[in-house]
């Protein structure tokens, strides 16, 4: 008699696992097609997802979130510290944060810098460029970006695409930002290649890169993990990214761990980048104003309970940078004394210049910074077109 036939199970482990992997892969790919806007806590991630090479953000986009909250609450996985607020973020055809019609107006000043220049955490009408436009009657173009490169050649290239009435460049520099190093030859070649690439091809590259980089399934899985890592079910491994401290009035405020560390270490002041920026823009007929922005910890440390006595080794970093910039003949405005005094004044009324859950200015802080810049406005002798400025404010 022959051996009885054995029936192998159809769903063997060797088949189930590859099938599951294929299903998960296909689900992830399909989920990447729709917009991730509904899954984001602020505009930054949504507007950066599909940006073309060399652009600050995805061009001609509008983001609306009535329940945005701060980056530190997200980074530290501290939902109880969220400070909800509406955020509207609009980009123009060049990928910068401006109303689209600004490109048709006569621009008097270009604002460059990082997320403080962009206006992270606030709506379009609350950014520094918008405030300055209303205060001065001069159209200020917001060319802020997080690309980490604010180089004179790109500023000059941008100026050729704008209708310039005056030639002022304001370089916002946040205390904890890294000073951009001098670009290498390879970086310059990459930037030149990006600039020569047709706009449609760059847009396609940006969209493909966005699909490959992040999708809704990835965002949802990350949120699910954070929901369990809440120091009750599992330890919160994100808590080390932020420092939670208490103000004299009893309110809690979050700080980025790196800015706290910077306050207690001495940082070298280097002028090679700043001289390069100044020496390139000045012969091209541009005026330059460097605006130094203190960190949230620098401003609010004197009002925190249980802080070490005395200052840190890095407490005078912006003061030293201001002194060296002025010695080099570069016009500089250090906002540290002004914002520190204003923070003390408004703290008496439980109002703040920075978001409690974010490293950036809130609308009050931006409005006060704009007032301080207006007091030293370099274009006082070059009046701007108020008619065009009012037109820029139209929705």
Among 103-117, 197-211, 283-297, where is mean pLDDT lowest? Answer: 197-211
Q: What pLDDT score was predicted for residue 287?
A: 93
**Reported pTM:** 0.85
Among 47-51, 104-108, 320-324, 363-367, where is mean pLDDT lowest? Answer: 47-51
Q: What pLDDT score was predicted for residue 214?
A: 67
Neighbours of 59 (CB within 10 A): 21
List, in sequence order, every beta strand (DSSP E) within 232-295: 242-246, 252-256, 287-293
Distance between CA atoms of residues 17 and 298, nearest Å? 53
Q: What pLDDT score was predicted for residue 349?
A: 95
Ordered by where they begin, the domains of the chain are: 35-392 (3.40.50.1110)
Distance between CA atoms of residues 42 and 35, nearest Å? 14
List Cα–Cα distances, 190 to 56, 151, 197, 223, in angstroms.
16, 14, 11, 35
| Buried/exposed 346-367: b ≥16 CB within 10 Å, e otherwise | ebeeeebbbbbbbbbbbbbbbe
Burial class (CB in 10 A: 0-12, 13-18, 19+), 118: buried
Would the pLDDT of 392 be above 50? Answer: no
- pLDDT-above-90 percentage for the chain: 57
Would the pLDDT of 246 be above 90? Answer: yes
Among 96-105, 149-158, 324-333, where is mean pLDDT lowest? Answer: 149-158
Q: Compute the average pLDDT of residues 176-196.
A: 75
More confidently predicted of 178 and 246: 246
Pairing type for strands 332-334 and 287-293 reads parallel
Nearest to residue 104, comparing CAs of 39, 177, 50, 161? Answer: 161
What single-letter DSSP state applies at residue 317?
A: H
For all residues of the chain together, what is the average pLDDT?
Answer: 85
Q: What is the dihedral sign for C-alpha 116, 118, 122, 124?
A: positive
For the stretch 260-272, pLDDT in tens is: 999 999 999 999 9
Q: Compute the average pLDDT of residues 33-62.
A: 85
């Amino acid at each position: 008699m022959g051996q009885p036939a054995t029936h192998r199970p159809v769903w063997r482990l060797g088949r189930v696992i590859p099938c599951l992997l294929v299903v998960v892969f296909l689900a992830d790919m399909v989920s990447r097609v729709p917009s991730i806007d509904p899954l984001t806590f602020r505009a930054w991630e949504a507007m950066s997802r599909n940006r073309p090479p060399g652009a600050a953000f995805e061009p001609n986009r509008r983001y609306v979130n009535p329940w945005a909250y701060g980056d530190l609450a997200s980074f530290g996985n501290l939902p109880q510290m969220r400070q909800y607020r509406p955020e509207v973020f609009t980009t123009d055809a060049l990928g910068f944060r401006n109303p689209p019609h600004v490109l048709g107006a006569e621009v008097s000043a270009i604002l460059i810098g990082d997320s403080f220049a962009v206006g992270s955490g606030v709506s379009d009408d609350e950014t520094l460029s918008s405030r300055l436009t209303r205060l001065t009657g001069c159209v200020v173009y917001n060319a802020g970006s997080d690309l980490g490169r604010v180089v004179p050649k790109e500023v000059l290239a941008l100026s050729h695409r704008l209708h310039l009435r005056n030639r002022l460049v304001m370089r916002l520099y946040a205390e904890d930002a890294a000073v951009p190093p001098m670009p290498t030859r390879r970086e310059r070649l990459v930037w030149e290649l990006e600039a020569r690439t047709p706009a449609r091809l760059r847009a396609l590259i940006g969209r493909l890169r966005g699909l490959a980089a992040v999708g809704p399934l990835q965002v949802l899985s990350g949120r699910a993990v954070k929901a369990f890592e809440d120091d009750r079910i599992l330890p919160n491994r994100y808590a080390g990214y932020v420092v939670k401290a208490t103000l004299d009035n009893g309110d809690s405020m979050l700080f980025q761990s790196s800015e706290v560390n910077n306050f207690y270490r001495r940082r070298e002041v280097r002028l090679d980048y700043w001289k390069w920026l100044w020496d390139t823009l000045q012969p091209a007929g541009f005026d330059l104003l460097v605006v130094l922005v203190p960190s949230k910890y620098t401003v609010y440390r004197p009002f925190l309970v249980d802080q070490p006595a005395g200052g840190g080794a890095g407490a005078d970093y912006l003061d030293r940078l201001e002194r060296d910039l002025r010695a080099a003949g570069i016009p500089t405005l250090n906002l540290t004394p002004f914002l520190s005094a204003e923070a003390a004044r408004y703290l008496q009324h439980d109002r703040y210049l920075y978001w409690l859950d974010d490293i950036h200015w809130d609308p009050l802080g931006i409005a006060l910074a704009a007032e301080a810049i207006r007091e030293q406005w370099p274009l006082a002798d070059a009046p701007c077109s108020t008619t065009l400025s009012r037109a820029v404010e139209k929705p």
